[in-house]
Amino acid sequence: MFVLSESQIMRWRCLFIVAIVLFLLAGSEAFATKPRPPLALSLTNRDLPDGQIELTLEATAFVTAEKVELVIDLPSSVALVSGEVRWDGTIAVGEKKAIKVFIRTVSTIPARVIGAASVYFPQGGSVKQQETVLLNPPQEKALPIPGPLKKPRQEHDTIFEFKGK
């Protein structure tokens, strides 16, 4: 039978406690909650009957910010019909700001529209967030339904053709 002395037991207890503390310290970083961004940002699009597209960039503030910029970046394959693509100003906690534009696509190629928000803090530093919408997405080609293979008919292809010969 294996017997440990009192000093060996204390040594193993100390090592065990150190191992648990190290595990908890290392694990706490992995499971730490990430800080919430200063704004909740959304970019939505809606097709209108006249061929135009309505884009709305909306930001809801989680902090009070003195300087906020909202920008909708339009690619060259999109024409602005009406609306402002930029807003800047202040925003309070819980306040919503939105910019709305009406556009028309001038090409059938896919176009990526980016809505961005930048928050500048008075003590320095900034945070930039962005959302993306894809206009004119590529159409998925319908694949043929697999079925039995049809081979071309040849002479004497069936038993009935042999019967008279």
On the question of pLDDT at 1 being above 70, the answer is no
Residues 24 and 63 in one domain: no
CB 20 within 8 A of CB 12: no
Residues in CB range of 92: below 8 A, 6 or more apart: 61, 64
Query: Counting Cβ atoms within 10 Å, is residue 117 exposed (0-12), middle (13-18) or buried (19+)?
Result: buried
Same domain for 13 and 44, yes or no, is no
More confident residue, 35 or 129: 129
Residues 119 and 47 in one domain: yes
Regarding whether 107 and 73 lie in a shared domain, the answer is yes
Number of domains into which the chain is organized: 2
**Integer Cα distance of 19 and 138 in angstroms:** 54
User: What is residue 31's predicted lDDT score, i.e. its pLDDT?
Assistant: 66
- The confidence score (pLDDT) of residue 136 equals 82
Does residue 25 share a domain with residue 1? yes
Reported pTM: 0.65
Percent of the chain having pLDDT more than 70?
Answer: 83
**Whole-angstrom Cα distance, residue 38 to residue 95?**
12
**96 assigned to some structural domain:** yes
Residues 18, 76 share a domain: no
156 located within any domain:
no
Domain extent for 15: 1-32
Partners of 116 in the β-ladder = 71, 130
Per-residue pLDDT of 122-148, as tens digits, reads 888 899 999 999 988 877 776 677 767
Task: Give tens-digit pLDDT for 43-76.
Answer: 999 999 888 999 999 999 999 989 999 999 999 9
pLDDT of residue 62: 92
CATH of the domain at 88: 2.60.40.2430
In a shared domain, residues 14 and 54: no
- 126 in the same domain as 81: yes
Q: Strands across the sheet with 96-105, in order? A: 39-47, 53-61, 96-105, 78-83
Q: Considering the domain boundaries, does residue 146 fall inside one?
A: no
